[in-house]
Amino acid sequence: MNFDAATFLREHWQKSPQLIRNPWRAWDNPLTPDELAGLACEPGVESRLVRRTTPRSWDLTDGPLSSADFAEVDGAPWTLLVQAVDHHVPAVAALLEPFRFIPNWRIDDVMVSYASDGGGVGPHFDQYDVFLVQGLGRRRWQVGPCCDERTPLLPHDRLRLLADFQPTQEWVLEPGDILYLPPGFAHDGVAVGEDCMTYSIGFRAPSRAELVSGWADHVIDLLDDDDRYSDPDLTPAAHPGEIAPETLDKLHHMVTEALANRDSFARWVGAFVTAPKSDLIDWSPDEMVTPQAIAGELAAGGMLERNPASRFALVRSGPEKLTLFVDGNARECGGTVALFAEQLCDHASLSVDPAWAGSPETVSLICDLANCGSVAITSDD
């Protein structure tokens, strides 16, 4: 992709919207509308059908959908949205590769939408970064100012639509064009003509509340209930109703000390950000594979593929030492295994190096991940 990542990060990332006119060497839409509709009808695939019933009113139907749902649109502009399509379609997952200049742990998923002429989901704002890649047809995007929790919304039980959307920028995207939007910016996308498909590549960011709540809950689970405040050096209180400053200092230290262990926090964060979004794509084998079988497959070459629904990340703990996190589980790696784990985190698929078969530690790690359904070795045949 012909795109200057460093300039983009410096000038636009989490700062301002940017329109990127078709930067692909040759844009090729990776999914047909019929394939998307088929996914929307499958159990376990998150999908929604949104109809615009009036200029300021929208109706929402949750999936799995049926042919009857599509037949009932009654000529009203409509939009089909299917979440996490990258977990199901390798060609859609490949759209993530040009964006890996952003750390993998920030990736959420690729949502794909199809809209009839005039279809859209209404003016709204999101709490994540998104690259909106136009796949088929044309879509008019209008972008407004930043919003927050105080921004007025239309009354709707399930759609968070803006009550007063005032666009300040407008573009019509053609196939291959990309619009980047930082978190909080108001926006509204409306299909211009039929067969409008858009790929929304979203990047999540945990809120402070999620981090504090999750980390505190984790620490609480590890604390001993007998570890209590004590004051063996207590002296007579001049004012019994006062919580003395030295008492506040001691209580505050009890809390902050328990939460301040950075190594433990790093281990918790690795598990937190790699917790799987869905366990519906199960690559675990019917029968447990053995290290001997894995060594044989490695020696034969092929590709090592990550389960597209699995999340991988690592935290370094020293020279040639790291902790590998896969789907919320931690594995300690050192030496050549750490180098392998680093490659595995960086790439969704790897050409198998037959030399891996000569490392019992690497074989053991791959075997463990294969039995958990996180990776698979595929043949070149």
- The predicted pLDDT at position 278 comes to 73
For the segment 142-162, what is each residue's pLDDT rounded down to a tens digit? 999 999 999 999 887 778 899
Residue 67 has a pLDDT of 85
C-alpha span between 159 and 157 (Å, rounded): 6
Q: Give per-residue pLDDT as tens, 52-100.
A: 888 778 888 999 999 888 877 777 899 999 999 999 999 999 999 999 9
* Rounded Cα gap, residues 282 and 278, in angstroms: 10
Give me the phi and psi of 367, to 5 degrees please: -60, -45
Low-confidence spans in the chain with pLDDT less than 70: 279-280, 380-381
Domain ranges of the chain: 5-203, 291-378
Question: Regarding the domain delimited by 5-203, which CATH topology (the fold level of the hierarchy) does it fall under?
Answer: Jelly Rolls (2.60.120)
> Alpha-carbon distance 380 to 301, whole Å?
8
Q: Would you say the CATH fold of 291-378 matches that of 5-203?
A: no
Q: Phi then psi for 315, rounded to 5 degrees? A: -130, 125
291-378 domain in CATH 3.40.366.30? yes
Q: What is the pLDDT of residue 78?
A: 94
Distant-in-sequence, close-in-space partners of 221: CB < 8 Å, separation ≥ 6? none
